[in-house]
Every structure is written in C-alpha cells, then in structure tokens.
Amino acid sequence: MKILVCLKQVPDTETKIKVAGDGKSLDPTDVKWITSPYDEYALEEGLRLKESAGAEVTVATVGDDKAKDVLRNAFALGADHAVLIKGDGQGDTLATASILAGFAKDKGFDLVLSGNKGLGGDNSAVGPMLAELLGYAQANVVVKLEITDGKFRAEREIEGGTEVVEGSLPAVVTAQKGLNEPRYASLKGIMAAKKKTIEETEVAGHAPATGTLAMTLPAARAEGRKLEGDAASQAKALMDALKNEAKVF
C-alpha cells in the first residue's frame, strides 16, 4: 500500500496573532512554526499502517524552504519519503488542493491522509477538494480507521456522535483528534533523519480562487465584574444578572 500524508506548517498554537503592515497577513516576527496538530494524527495513522501492513509512507508539503522542518520531523518519526512542493503554502484551498492533486496523480497512492483542518486558514477544505480532484472516495474528521482488502471503514465525527463511512480505496481520509496517540521522535530517529534527502519539486496548480482582503483582531473583551458573597449569594447574583441584565433567559 502506498500512502501520501499531507503536512502543513502553521504558527504554534501559543502564537499571539499580530497583523502585518499590509493589513491582511500575519506578522511573522517571533512566530514559531510547527506541524499543524491534526496532521500529526494523519502521519501517525500512516506510520501505524506502515508497521501493521507494510505501507510505504510519503509525506509532502506545499510551502517554502522553512517548511522543510515539518518534513525533517516526519523523517524522524519514520516516513519513507519526503517531498517539498515549492509554492505558496498560504495560496488558497483550491490552489493547494490542485497542487497536491497534480503531485499525487499517476503516483498510485492508495490512501491520502491529511488533517481535518489546517490551523490558521481553518477552512477544512483541502481534503475533500483533493478527493474530488483525484476522483477518490473521502472520509472526513475520522476518529477510527480500518483498512481490509482494498476497502475502508471509517468512523467520522458528526453532531452528537459518529457515523460509519465505508468505501473502496483509493481514498482521502482526514484525521481528527482521537484517531490515535501520535508518537514522539526518538534520538535515533532524529539522527537518521539528518541523513535522509528531502526531494524538491514544483507542480503547476489552479490559480487561487480566493484572496484575503483584510485581517483584523477581535475587539478585546472587557473584564467584567466579580460577584461577591458566599456560594449561595454568588449563585443567586449570577442568575439574577443573567436573567435581568444580560437577558440570556
């Protein structure tokens, strides 16, 4: 089985977002970059299939030289091949999906794994778009995956529960927290990763169909008031305020 795992490099979740001078992009000063958290579950699932079913795992990212860090990290965890597809990693979802599709087509991947959401853009769109462009089945926001005889059974999160999606490979599966517990890189893995070669390529894709026109920070929430007294009077004061002041009820 041949597996492709799509990895996106994103600002660390601790990042305090600052808007750059252009009024529409992230000010990169002091930003630490990480692999998008959901992509870690995708990679872990690929590595488990490598161990249990002898799959071959290729990781790819659309981005610049800096994005090599996520590929290097994936090597340390056990990926077989890593590819930097040079391009604008922040282009748009259709452009990104079409670049990934252009890379993946003709390579015979049975399974493409990605995160269900890339932190930052937060569109949750690249997976399903990629499935459409490749003509693959899809299962999105998956918390459990089984693969047998070229077929998949995936449990995916829906409102108030999960639903079971079944289909045949090839497929795109997007990972949700709960799918597995990602491993940490071993020192040996990190050393070995240094010797592995990151392939670099360029792939033509769809022109972006959207653009970010502006980015703003939410108005700061004012600190409200603290309710005084013992637990019973605090409780009464709160319910009173919610009902008569905030008119929540």
Partner 1 sequence: MILVFCELKDGKLRKPSAEALSEGRRLADASGQQLGALTVGASADGAADAAKYGADSILTCVAPSLASYSSDAFAAAIASAAKAKGATIVLGAATAMGKDALPRAAARLDAGYAGDVTGLSMEGGKLQAQRPVYAGKAFATTGFTSAVQVATTRPNVFAATEKTGPGAMESVEAPAGDFKAIVKEILAKGGGKVDLTEANVIVAGGRGLKSGENFKILEELADALGGVVGASRAAVDAGWGLSHGIQVGQTGKVVSPTLYIAAGISGAIQHLAGMSSSKYIVAINKDPDAPIFKIADYGIVGDLFEVVPELTKAAKAMGIGAHH
Ligand X SMILES: Cc1cc2nc3c(=O)[nH]c(=O)nc-3n(C[C@H](O)[C@H](O)[C@H](O)COP(=O)(O)OP(=O)(O)OC[C@H]3O[C@@H](n4cnc5c(N)ncnc54)[C@H](O)[C@@H]3O)c2cc1C
Instruction: In whole angstroms, give the CA distance from residue 185 to residue 75.
Output: 9
Task: Give strand pairing partners of 112.
Answer: 4, 172
Q: Which of 20, 53, 158, 191 binds partner 1 (CB under 8 A)?
A: 158
Choosing among partner 1, ligand X, none, which partner's interface includes residue 143 (Cβ < 5 to 8 Å by kind)? partner 1
Choosing among ligand X, partner 1, none, which partner's interface includes residue 203 (Cβ < 5 to 8 Å by kind)? none
- Residue in 20, 9, 6, 10 with CA at minimum distance from that of residue 120: 10
Rg (alpha carbons) of the chain, rounded to whole number: 22
Choosing among partner 1, ligand X, none, which partner's interface includes residue 90 (Cβ < 5 to 8 Å by kind)? ligand X
What character string, x for contact with partner 1 (CB under 8 A) and - otherwise, covers 220-239? -x-xxxxx---xx-xxx-xx
Instruction: In whole angstroms, give the CA distance from residue 42 to residue 38.
Output: 7
Closest CB to ligand X among 54 and 218?
Answer: 218
Closest CB to partner 1 among 54 and 135?
Answer: 135
Position 188 contacts partner 1 (CB under 8 A): no
The set of residues, in sequence order, having a beta carbon less than 8 Å from that of 226 and lying 6+ positions away, is: none
Choosing among partner 1, ligand X, none, which partner's interface includes residue 218 (Cβ < 5 to 8 Å by kind)? partner 1
- Residue in 177, 89, 175 with CA at minimum distance from that of residue 138: 175
Closest CB to partner 1 among 164 and 191?
Answer: 164
Rounded (5°) CA angle 142-145-151: 120
User: What is the C-alpha end-to-end distance of the chain, expressed in Å?
Assistant: 56
Contacts with ligand X by CB under 6 A lie at 6-8, 13, 36-39, 42, 61-63, 89-94, 96, 114-115, 117-118, 120-127, 210, 212, 215
The set of residues, in sequence order, having a beta carbon less than 8 Å from that of 35 and lying 6+ positions away, is: 7, 8, 9, 10, 43, 70, 73, 74
Position 100 contacts partner 1 (CB under 8 A): no
Q: Pick the piece of the chain touching partner 1 (CB under 8 A) from 45-53, 56-64, 187-195, 203-211.
A: 203-211
Instruction: In whole angstroms, give the CA distance from residue 220 to residue 202.
Output: 42
Position 16 contacts partner 1 (CB under 8 A): yes
Closest CB to ligand X among 58 and 93?
Answer: 93
Q: Which of 30, 148, 160, 194 binds partner 1 (CB under 8 A)?
A: 160
Per CB under 8 A, contacts with partner 1 among 30-89 are: 37-38
Closest CB to ligand X among 188 and 221?
Answer: 221
State CA 70 to chain mean position distance.
12
